[in-house]
Chains A and B, each alone.
Chain A
Amino acid sequence: MIRFVLDGEIQELVDVDPTRTVLEWLREDEHRVGTKEGCAEGDCGACTAVIGELIEDRVRYRAINTCIYFLPMLHGKELVTVESIGVPDQLHPVQQAMADGDGTQCGFCTPGFVMSLFAKYQGSDPALSEDVDNVLAGNLCRCTGYRPIQEAAASVEPDAGLQARFGGPKTRDLLKSLHISEAQSAEYQDPHFETARRWHRPTSEEELTDLLKRYPSATLVAGATDVGLWVTKQHRLIETAIVLNGVTSLNRIEETEQGLRIGAMVTYSDAIAHLARLHPDFGELVRRIGSTQVRNSGTIGGNIANGSPIGDTPPPLIVLNAQLELASSEGARTIPLEDFFIDYGKQDLRTGEYVRSVLIPPLADGLVFRTYKISKRFNQDISALCGAFAFEIEDGVVTSARVAFGGMAATPKRAAACEAALTGQPWTEATIDEAANAMARDYAPITDMRASAPYRMKTAQNLLRKAFLETGAPNRTRILEGVRL
């Protein structure tokens, strides 16, 4: 059974399609149509709603894309939609500001913007950016040009009394009464595929390993920012879904002597501050992954486990020599992350195994680390290529070089020839030219809708030059200045 809070009441859903999205439930089952569908792939934000979660003793509100958020993922949470926060005669301050500030034209994207701004208004999420554009980059508007929306957002001063309408004692009690530490599961007879389907929501790794033993081909659902599209776009049948967000042991971040250990279920939003502390470039890279809504759902573990050649975290993780911890009923094992990626769609993941965590060792003193993401649009775009560099330079000589790229091969991949051309050489432009040329032996990128092969190669080589320039850099070398996190 799926239990969650909506408008101060507990909703109980039984006999539902485990891959039915929250948006479908709202619009088609509840006829609660304020939340809109614009793309059904988590890219336009028209379907944005807010999720309240009990974190210690407070309710933290975060925006999500309901179009790729499966109903079982809601279990134990509060759902807040545009209808929850205001009505035409009594608008919420963010609604009022959007209406009075000409923030609406066709109005179709508006409820999504309102909900992203509502999450900001609540002020309950320390991970949420202070930069309004960053908060709103996951909400597309085709009419206004954004200036009035941005100004409306900036004009709203949160009022503590109004903030307290949400997440108060009653909501907290309701959330506590949902007993989220109990495992859930259900079976559903699917009329479309004419087959039985099931979902499980384990709350411990023991339960998870048992489930994986029973259902070795089960689909693990972390944030569903990828798996969601298997359903909404590819119409794939997911027979057994294991929803991981109840397994709290996978949701930990630890800064230890061995380094920064990030549990597989840690979202980008929760990881970003830690990664930014490791290096500002890493923080900025993760800030540019997806949108606020995507980062609130998507996980570091998912970004690794799906094996995509254009996932953004593997290149920097690889050059930082990150170690991946995998676990199953047979026990746990640790491998260098770069060894995880075997070929396109093929990872070193054994039957019944899951990604438990990734460990980033402490950065060596004086390590030169850079990572860059190249895409047609700065925000919420999938990389054409993503590069990462880690150099150790002593007395003007490169003693160690690690270079890795996404988008340049069938997997995230190190540039062995490039690294060899750097190692032991003086840190000079001549060396960089040699190493850039060597990169042509490391990669044979493809041409697709994001970029051509020649552009990918040229830019990969130029990113090495950029990293070099930045070690001396008298002038600006980047279009984007750092964005406030």
Chain B
Amino acid sequence: MLKRLQRGAPGNAVEGDVHTPRRHDSAHLHVSGQARYTDDLPEPADCLQIYVAMSERAHATIDKMDLSAVRTAPGVVCVISAEDIPGANDIGPVVQDDPVFAETKVFYHGQPLFAVAATSRKAARLAAMRAELEYTDAPALLDIAAARAAEDIIETPQTMRLGNAAEAIASAPTVLNGALEMGGQDHFYLEGQIALSVPGEDGALLIYSSTQNPTEAQHLIAHLLHKPSSAVTVEVRRMGGAFGGKETQSTLVAAIAALVTHKTGQAAKLRLDRDDDMIMTGKRHDFQIRYQAGFDAQGLLHGVSFDLASRCGFSTDLSLAINDRAMFHSDNCYFLRNAEIVSHRLRTHTVSNTAFRGFGGPQGMLGIERLMDQVAFEVGRDPLDVRLDNLYGGEGKNLTPYHQVVEDNVAGELIETLAASSNYRARRAEIEASNKQPGVIKRGIALTPVKFGISFTAKHLNQAGALIHVYADGTIQLNHGGTEMGQGLMVKVAQVVAHEFQVDIDQIKIMATSTEKVPNTSATAASSGSDLNGMAAQVAARKIKDRLIGFLAERDGVPIESVVFENNRIRAGDTDYSFQEVVKAAYFGRISLSATGYYRTPKIHYDRDKHRGRPFFYFAYGAAVSEVEIDTLTGENRVTRTDILHDVGRSLNPAIDMGQIEGGFIQGMGWLTMEELVYDAEGRLRTHAPSTYKIPTSADRPGVFNVEIWDKGSNQEHTIHHSKAVGEPPFMLAISVFSALTHAVSGAADHKVFPQLDAPATPERILMAVDAVRAELD
């Protein structure tokens, strides 16, 4: 069971100080249904409802798109398509290849063709069905293999090199080859994509968007409408989940709503139906990985080569950085000595794949963890020992394939601690012995570690701003560029501010994220939310605090050093004031009580042409042991126990961090077990709703689930209160489940054959793998 977290302020600390567990700031609103999401906002009078019609072909020329019957359908107010866009028909975040609406050709089944705005959502949907559409099909590349054969790519293959992999492998005592396929993943945020656009005066627009990236939506919508960015405001108080799916994909929805408002002068709302959302918007990239490893009799790596291929979909979106991150994590915690990592970014006639928690990292990491399992099997050792022997170490063993020196490695200590606390070695021995007995059920166990690089690999994104107002009554408004998607960013940043001012957190009002409060922000992504915005808010708070100190010192004639903020009081020399008293006096003393804060991450640099540099400020670490069982007659499987030890540095909020660790693990488990995206021969996604696309339920979490935050955790870099990012790293703890399933499958053949298991390990894939290992044994 989880260690109960101690609640409340210890001793003389304020309520909601940093390093204390604190529930989500909106919890009381969530549970009572009073937390407002975009669809819950009161609609302005005459608000239009929008429906988006989608391509029914994967790759085709549009011969005819007659919308006259759509326009005359009951309730329809306007119909818009590409020709109605005043500016550029593009919302590509990096490369200009992402149209809002198809023009002469369609590039994926589900691509938006036109939008209908009507008096009701139902009217808009029914009207859209009246369109007369004719296409001429073109050949469609629907998967990685087809795109690779056709050499259709979104970027030239990228290569990362350390030493000479080919030579090292050739001269190694043992060489093995392997391959692994892994599926994509739908975000399945519970709140689908949505935006509400409201007209302002003089051409201004206010857009409420469920987005991780208000600034990008603002800039791209301005571009689309041929307006200055200053005319467009984008606001979001909270999202009902995002996971990367609202980093760029939300812009499409916001843009269409903005276009309708621009054309009609009326407020307009677009909320995608779940099926349309899943068909129309991007997902995690599926990957095919081939690898070759050269190693000695103990499994110590001499050299490794990886060939990574991913399905990017029809456009670039964020695929360059995502595939880069897959390369960055192809080492995970291991010193590869000599490595060559080649990455192929393939263009397909399917939806453009996008950011999803881990951002390519999980795919790269799954490759090396599979390799570790296979090397261990080859040399006949416990995979844990092979993993431990290959970990990064000191001088001469600390260089990554991208030539960053690993300076903060704690993987070994974490792994050893977890192996002991979970009793891994004894359990593994017992499992292997019991698998030798006859029986339908076989079990498996595995321990896998995580090392995840923290920073946006696009350097310019590593900046943030905040804006804090202190009002004359002593209450505080907190604004920053980060967005709340459930991860608890707002409460963490509020804790930072409560700590600076030494006021109870209830004094701080958390405001919606708006481009009119903080400009030019980065997406809340890359696990960076509290690192960046926490720092920016701290800077802003310290500016105001310094002004209050200066004011009080001068007024009371005491040294500046004698002014101390502590537990809702401010002491100046021998006198003790309430925070409110001082603020009020400062107002009358004409002291500015508002400040901005700005932060940029130090130390990072990267030469993408050479794939060398220091892309990451630091690394976050974790490890997990999972035990599984499989039914060798049906392939059914489940996780019976998972133990996790995870490093969050000095946690800003252990309650929130625990939620990220557990939730990330379960989401990763879903990716690797039951979540399966199935496209048919026409390129149609067949799993586009929860009836067909299965994410874990309450009953799927491990039967025993021991999760601990590493009590020795700290960040040797100067991050906000020496905490570490926690959003993405725990997702990859679920690789332990996949390795354990691999182990269980080998148990169906006396642990004498190494299984070829691909992800997701559905009952079908497991049964096929069981039959294959048994066939090989016979």
Interface residue ranges, A against B (CB under 8 Å): 27, 31, 33-41, 43-44, 46, 81-83, 86-88, 91, 95-96, 98-100, 102-111, 114, 132-134, 136-151, 191-194, 233, 235, 372, 374-382, 384, 448-452, 455, 458-459, 462-463, 465-466, 469, 475-480
Contacts and interface: CB of A to CB of B under 8 A. Distances in A.
A463 B633 contact: yes
B701 A146 contact: yes
A43 B633 contact: no
Interface string B656-695: 1011001111110000001010100000001101111011
A162 B240 CA distance: 30
Contact of A102 (B129, B658, B686): B658
A109 B698 CA distance: 13
Given A37-B39, A193-B126, 19 more contacts: A31-B42, A34-B33, A38-B190, A38-B192, A39-B689, A41-B690, A102-B659, A106-B486, A108-B189, A137-B698, A143-B659, A146-B666, A192-B74, A194-B74, A235-B122, A377-B700, A382-B692, A449-B686, A478-B441
Interface stretch (B22-30, B292-300, B449-457): B22-30
Contacts of B662: 144-145, 147-148
Contact of A91 (B31, B125, B242, B696): B31
Given A107-B24, A192-B123, A192-B126, A475 B441 contact: yes
B32 A82 contact: yes
Majority SS at the chain A contact face: loop
Contact of A111 (B33, B75, B273, B699): B33
A88 B190 contact: no
Contacts of B527: none
A91 B188 CA distance: 29
Contacts of B188: 140, 142
A142 B686 contact: no
A449 B633 contact: no
B736 to A, nearest CB: 14
A34 B190 contact: no
Contacts of A480: 636, 638
B238 interface: yes
Interface in B729-778: 762-764, 767-768, 771
B34 interface: yes
Given A81-B33, A377-B700, A43 B441 contact: no
A142 B275 contact: no
Specify the main secondary structure of chain B where it touches its partner.
loop
Contact of B190 (A36, A41, A450, A455): A36
A322 to B, nearest CB: 25
Contact of B27 (A36, A99, A109, A478): A99
Contacts of A463: 633-634
A102 B24 contact: yes
A91 B629 CA distance: 41
A86 B697 CA distance: 26
A465 B37 CA distance: 51
Contact of B663 (A34, A105, A469): A105
Contacts, number: 291
B190 A108 contact: yes
Which 7 A-B pairs give the minimum distances between C-beta atoms? A34-B33, A106-B486, A108-B240, A107-B30, A145-B666, A43-B690, A105-B486
B485 A106 contact: yes
Contacts of A133: 697-699
A475 B635 CA distance: 17
A102 B655 contact: yes
Contacts of B122: 192, 235
A476 B188 CA distance: 35
B41 to A, nearest CB: 9
B106 to A, nearest CB: 22
Interface of B: 2, 23-24, 26-37, 39-40, 42, 74-75, 120, 122-123, 125-126, 129, 187-192, 238-243, 273-275, 437-441, 485-488, 629-631, 633-638, 655-656, 658-659, 662-667, 674, 676, 678, 686-687, 689-692, 694-701, 705, 707, 762-764, 767-768, 771
B441 A477 contact: yes
Contacts of A384: 763-764
A142 B695 contact: yes
Contact of B31 (A98, A138, A194): A98
B126 A145 contact: no
Given A34-B34, A82-B32, A458-B771, A448 B275 contact: no
Contact of A104 (B27, B638, B700, B707): B27
Nearest to A100: B23
Contacts of A83: 32-33
Given A38-B190, A235-B126, A479 B636 contact: yes
Contact of B275 (A44, A99, A233): A233
Contacts of A41: 274, 689-691
Given A38-B274, A143-B659, A146-B666, A87 B689 contact: no
B32 A374 contact: no
A108 B190 CA distance: 6
Given A374-B636, A374-B763, A476-B439, A142 B698 contact: no
A136 B698 contact: yes
Nearest to A381: B694
Given A38-B191, A191-B74, A449 B692 contact: yes
Contacts of B34: 34, 87-88
A455 B699 contact: no
Given A43-B691, A479-B637, A142 B659 contact: no
B659 A144 contact: yes
Most chain B beta carbons < 10 A, residue from A100, A137, A146: A146
B238 A107 contact: yes
Contacts of B440: 466, 469, 475-478
10 contacts: A95-B31, A98-B31, A103-B31, A106-B241, A374-B763, A376-B762, A377-B674, A379-B697, A380-B697, A462-B767
B275 to A, nearest CB: 7
Contacts of B768: 455
Contacts of B29: 88, 107
Given A39-B690, A377-B694, A134 B699 contact: yes
Contacts of A139: 697-698
Given A106-B240, A142-B190, A374 B634 contact: yes
A463 B701 CA distance: 26
A384 B656 CA distance: 38
Nearest to B668: A145
A458 B663 CA distance: 35
A132 B666 CA distance: 18
B673 to A, nearest CB: 8
A106 B189 contact: yes
Contact of A455 (B187, B692, B767): B767
Contact of A479 (B32, B485, B629): B629
A81 B631 CA distance: 41
Contacts of A465: 633
B189 A475 contact: no
Nearest to A107: B30
A79 to B, nearest CB: 14
Contacts of A455: 635, 763-764, 767-768
Contacts of B273: 40
Contacts of B665: 145
A107 B686 CA distance: 28
A122 B694 CA distance: 30
A233 B275 CA distance: 8
A106 B763 contact: no
Nearest to A461: B633
Contacts of A111: 30-33
Among A98, A108, A458, residue most surrounded by chain B Cβ atoms (within 10 Å): A108
Contacts of A459: 633-635, 763, 767
A450 B635 CA distance: 14
A86 B23 CA distance: 19
Nearest to A133: B699
